[in-house]
Structure 1
Amino acid sequence: MPDGDSSEALRRRPGRPSLSNEELLDKALDLFVEKGFAGTSIDAICAAAGMAKRTVYARYGDKEALFKAALDRAIADWIVPPAALRAQESEDFEATLLRIGTLLVENVLGPAGLRLLRLTNAESVTMPEIALENVRLGTEPTLHYLADLFRRHLGGPNGDFPEAEDAAQAFLSLVVGGPASNAAWGMRLDPSHVERHVRYSVHLFLHGALDRAPREGPGELRRLLREAEEGLQLARQRVEQAGRLVRE
């Protein structure tokens, strides 16, 4: 018979270590992405995590609470902190925007971004609050940073730029929105295509479509001809006026 000390040691022998909250949420995320909210059961999550149901219910009251916690975990994995965006800044504003745009697009097309896109697109119809949560935790900090960036570079001496928030939304939609939408539909984007998209979109944002158009294209030629014709008509009118004055 074992003595008291050895019996106590046997009682204290550790079993399988319990997963951390982060590991549990990662397991739950994998299942929610694969099978959707409705198709994922607490039993399946517990089996994947090797965890007792009572432990999961003790941490999260029900499946919906677990799902929202997993969503917050997915957003935290995906978001680019404003400090990381600020680290891309330089004296060259367009180069700054190119680096920021590239970072944001690469992030949304990375594993964490694609996972979040799939999850929110699949569930936001029946649970619209998860799209709002995505905006609140993920998109709004980026918009606030961009608006501040535009005030500093495009505002007056006092940083007065009333359209800063609109400009931030336009930049994010133009530069990041297209690749994100394509990825959400399952399209695989070639890195060279993504690079061209970011470069063109940043230039378009800063300079506009007309500034990028060929200066001697057909539209420009028509404009020059129209101006020349108007100038010729004006010259004829002045010659006629001068002739009348001479005859008088």
Structure 2
Amino acid sequence: MTIPQPASKEARPAAGPGRPKDLAKGAAILDAAQRMFLRHGFEGVSMDQIAAAAGVSKLTVYSHFGDKDALFTEAARVWCEQQMPGSLFERAPHLPVRERLMDIARSYFAMICAPEAVAGHRLLCSPQMVEKQLARLSWEAGPQRVQEEFARFLERRIAAGHLEIDDVQRAAGQFFALVKGDLHSRLVFDCDTGEAACPDRAGSHLEAAVDMFLRAYGARQPAA
């Protein structure tokens, strides 16, 4: 996603304490911000431009999100939540653990390989984003939430006897690292976009990642 330029030091109105926000306007602002940040970068977009694209006043943008840094972080959070909603990790004890892991792997891989996500990843790796701590804030608002939801999913499957994991947080991180593999790095570095986009190759990659995870953490069958 394209990112807004750093907020200026000019005085800006604080969000009103008791006034309800217009949800439709907030959604329009986030949609405009996502599109413009991805297209023009953080420094290439002003709050005035985002307001114009959303069809609202700049005052409305500040009232909803406070400043550009907060708008960027919220846009990243909402986009990630839309791609991987909490419902993906809801209880479904009747479904085999491998099937659930494959569903999560497919959704995550599709999310990180989307053109918007690749552009956003490149942007967040820039020195400016790191210095402004926007990379860290975006991680906490998006991917970290996904990893925490997944860790809770793993804990439920451990309790059900489907998995054996000593360090759940570590295993959660390992799962998503396996799902990324080297295909995501190739996309980010523009080395090979074909393999990640090919359903057969991507599918084989994800099946291998899930099978490796289960070989490490699947519940062992008792010895005969």
- TM superposition score category, shorter chain reference: 0.5 to 0.7
Matched, 1:164 2:168: yes
1:99 alignment partner, one of 103, 108, 111: 103
Displacement after TM superposition at 1:137 (Å): 2.7
Letter of the structure 2 residue corresponding to residue 136 of structure 1:
E
Matched, 1:198 2:214: no
Q: Give runs of aligned pairs for residues 106-185 of structure 1, distance below 5 A.
A: 106-110=110-114, 114-124=115-125, 125-128=127-130, 129-153=133-157, 161-185=165-189
Whether the 8 Å CA contact 1:174–1:201 is kept in 2: the answer is: yes
TM-score, normalised to structure 1, is 0.61
Letter of the structure 2 residue corresponding to residue 130 of structure 1:
L
Give structure 1 stretches of 5+ with no counterpart.
1-17, 209-248
- Deviation digits for residues 159-182 of structure 1 (CA, Å, limit 9, x no counterpart): 984222222211111023544434
Whether the 8 Å CA contact 1:80–1:104 is kept in 2: the answer is: no
Letter of the structure 2 residue corresponding to residue 121 of structure 1:
R
Whether the 8 Å CA contact 1:19–1:49 is kept in 2: the answer is: no
Q: Give runs of aligned pairs for residues 193-232 of structure 1, distance below 5 A.
A: 193-207=201-215
- Deviation digits for residues 121-143 of structure 1 (CA, Å, limit 9, x no counterpart): 31343123233233323233333
- Deviation digits for residues 61-117 of structure 1 (CA, Å, limit 9, x no counterpart): 443343333333333333331x3233565453333322332232233334xxx4244
Q: Which moved more, 1:145-154 or 1:28-37?
A: 145-154
2:34 corresponding residue in structure 1: 29
Q: C-alpha distance in 2, partners of 1:58/1:90?
A: 46
Instruction: Count matched residues.
Output: 186
Describe the SS at the equivalent of 1:134.
helix
Q: C-alpha distance in 2, partners of 1:144/1:61?
A: 27
1:5 corresponding residue in structure 2: none
- Deviation digits for residues 198-245 of structure 1 (CA, Å, limit 9, x no counterpart): 11111222236xxxxxxxxxxxxxxxxxxxxxxxxxxxxxxxxxxxxx
2:75 corresponding residue in structure 1: 70
Whether the 8 Å CA contact 1:75–1:134 is kept in 2: the answer is: no
Percent of aligned positions that are identical: 24
Q: Which moved more, 1:88-97 or 1:24-33?
A: 88-97
Letter of the structure 2 residue corresponding to residue 202 of structure 1:
V
1:51 alignment partner, one of 56, 68, 90: 56
Describe the SS at the equivalent of 2:43.
helix
Q: C-alpha distance in 2, partners of 1:87/1:180?
A: 29
Distance 1:151 1:195, change over 3 A: same
Q: C-alpha distance in 2, partners of 1:169/1:63?
A: 30
Query: What RMSD in Å do the two structures reach over aligned CA positions?
Result: 3.2
Displacement after TM superposition at 1:58 (Å): 4.1
Whether the 8 Å CA contact 1:37–1:123 is kept in 2: the answer is: no
Whether the 8 Å CA contact 1:88–1:99 is kept in 2: the answer is: no
Higher relative contact order at CA 8 Å, sep ≥6: structure 1 or structure 2? 2
Letter of the structure 1 residue corresponding to residue 146 of structure 2:
T
Q: C-alpha distance in 2, partners of 1:36/1:99?
A: 32
Letter of the structure 2 residue corresponding to residue 201 of structure 1:
A
Give structure 2 stretches of 5+ with no counterpart.
1-22, 217-224
Q: Which moved more, 1:90-99 or 1:192-201?
A: 90-99
Distance 1:86 1:183, change over 3 A: farther
